[in-house]
């Protein structure tokens, strides 16, 4: 297996940032293309588990229907893997809510990524959201 190249690492970091930007801009169709057809999004008790293309569609439709202001940031990204599979862990900071009364949410993303046709995509995205006590 080939090691992750610098280009792979940059592409993965770009994927994480693109996910955030597309959610924040409401680019729902484009967001769906960031995932494999057999993906799994796990947002725990807060937003549930969504699998496959249909799950991603339902997830994006739910987000679209909220009408909330959303600004997402990922940082402290650590990537491991080889030339076709990788894992990324990152911190999450999200500002969400109705305009004028947004709240901060923090947590972590744990991602499993695959490269096919020269492009990295999410296979598994797990959000570990810090819930208030």
Q: What's the pLDDT tens digit per position in 7-66?
A: 999 999 999 999 999 999 999 999 999 999 999 999 988 788 999 999 999 999 988 888
How many residues in the chain?
133
Nearest CA to 115 out of 21, 3, 18, 8 is that of 8
Whether the CB-CB separation of 59 and 40 falls below 8 Å is answered with no
Say what the pLDDT of residue 66 is: 83
* pTM confidence score: 0.91
Confidence band, pLDDT 50/70/90 cuts, at residue 133: very low
Whether the CB-CB separation of 59 and 39 falls below 8 Å is answered with no
Architecture in CATH of 6-129: Roll (3.10)
Alpha carbons 12 and 20: distance in angstroms, whole number: 13
**64-106 pLDDT tens trace:** 888 788 999 999 999 999 989 999 999 999 998 887 888 899 9
Say what the pLDDT of residue 112 is: 98
């Amino acid at each position: 297996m080939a090691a992750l190249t610098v280009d792979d690492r940059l592409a993965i970091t770009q994927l994480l940032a693109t996910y955030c930007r597309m959610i924040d801009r409401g680019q729902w169709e484009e967001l769906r293309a960031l995932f494999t057809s057999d993906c799994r999004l796990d947002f725990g008790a807060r937003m549930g588990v969504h699998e496959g293309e249909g799950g991603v569609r339902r997830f994006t439709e739910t987000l679209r229907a909220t009408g909330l202001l959303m600004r997402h940031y990922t940082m402290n990204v650590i990537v491991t893997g080889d030339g076709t599979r990788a894992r990324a862990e990152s911190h999450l900071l999200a500002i969400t809510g109705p305009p004028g009364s947004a709240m901060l949410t923090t947590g972590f993303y744990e991602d499993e990524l695959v490269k096919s046709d020269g492009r990295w995509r999410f296979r598994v995205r797990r959000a570990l959201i810090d819930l208030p006590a």
